[in-house]
Chains A and B, each alone.
Chain A
Amino acid sequence: MTAALEINDLSVYFGDHHDLFQAVKSASFTVEKGASFGLVGESGSGKSTILKALTGLAPQWEGHMSVAGRELDRKRDRTFYKTVQMVFQDPYASLHPRQSVDQVLTETLQLHGFSDINSRIERLLQDVGLGPAFRFRYPHQLSGGQRQRVAIARALASEPQILLLDEPTSALDVSVQAEILNLLSDLRAEHGLTYVMVSHDLAVVAHMCDQAAVMRNGEIVEIISIEDMRAGRTKHGYTSQLLQASVNRVA
Chain B
Amino acid sequence: MSTLLDVKNLWVKFPTRNGIFDAVRGVSFSLGKERLGIVGESGSGKSMTGRAILQLIRKPGMIEADHISLHGQNLLDLPERQMRAVRGKQISMVMQDPKFSLNPVMTIGDQIIEAYRLHSRASKAEARAKALEMLEAVSIREPERVMKAYPHEMSGGMGQRIMIAMMLIPNPEILIADEPTSALDVSVQGQVLSIMDKLVKDRGMGLIFISHDLNLVSQFCDRVLIMYAGRVVEVCDADKLHQAQHPYTQGLLGSLPQFDAPRKRLEVLNRDPAWRDAPSVETGT
Q: Are B219 and A248 in contact (CB under 8 A)?
A: yes
In the complex, A249 Cα to B213 Cα: how many Å? 11
Please, which residue of chain B has its CB at the minimum distance from the CB of A227? B262
Q: Which among B187, B188, B194 has the highest number of chain A CB atoms within 10 Å?
A: B187
A202 within 8 A of B: yes
A221 within 8 A of B: no
Knowing A207-B266, A249-B186, the reply to whether A173 touches B212 (Cβ < 8 A) is yes
A43 within 8 A of B: yes
Q: Are A178 and B267 in contact (CB under 8 A)?
A: yes
In the complex, A153 Cα to B190 Cα: how many Å? 37
A7 within 8 A of B: no
In the complex, A33 Cα to B265 Cα: how many Å? 22
Q: Are A181 and B266 in contact (CB under 8 A)?
A: yes
Complex contacts, A248 vs chain B, CB 8 Å = 190, 219
Contact with B along A34-77 (1 / 0, CB 8 A): 00000000110000000000000000000000000000000000
In the complex, A248 Cα to B262 Cα: how many Å? 18
Q: Which of A175, A185, A204 sits near B269, CB closer than 8 Å?
A: A175
Q: Are A230 and B186 in contact (CB under 8 A)?
A: no
Complex contacts, A249 vs chain B, CB 8 Å = 186, 189-190, 193, 213, 215-216, 219-220
Q: How many A-B residue pairs have CB under 8 A?
A: 92
Complex contacts, B258 vs chain A, CB 8 Å = 203, 207
Number of interface residues of B (CB under 8 A): 36
Please, which residue of chain B has its CB at the minimum distance from the CB of A208? B257
Q: Are B220 and A250 in contact (CB under 8 A)?
A: yes
A206 within 8 A of B: yes
Give chain A's interface secondary structure class: helix
Knowing A173-B212, A181-B266, the reply to whether A206 touches B255 (Cβ < 8 A) is no
B135 within 8 A of A: no
Q: Are A251 and B268 in contact (CB under 8 A)?
A: no
- In the assembled complex, the CB of B248 is this many whole angstroms from the nearest CB of chain A, namely 9
B197 within 8 A of A: yes
Q: Which of A144, A206, A251 sits near B191, CB closer than 8 Å?
A: A251
A187 within 8 A of B: no
Complex contacts, B256 vs chain A, CB 8 Å = 174, 178, 203
In the complex, A202 Cα to B187 Cα: how many Å? 12
B80 within 8 A of A: no
A117 within 8 A of B: no
Q: Which among B185, B220, B259 has the highest number of chain A CB atoms within 10 Å?
A: B259
Q: Are A246 and B41 in contact (CB under 8 A)?
A: no
Q: Are B185 and A200 in contact (CB under 8 A)?
A: yes
B214 within 8 A of A: yes
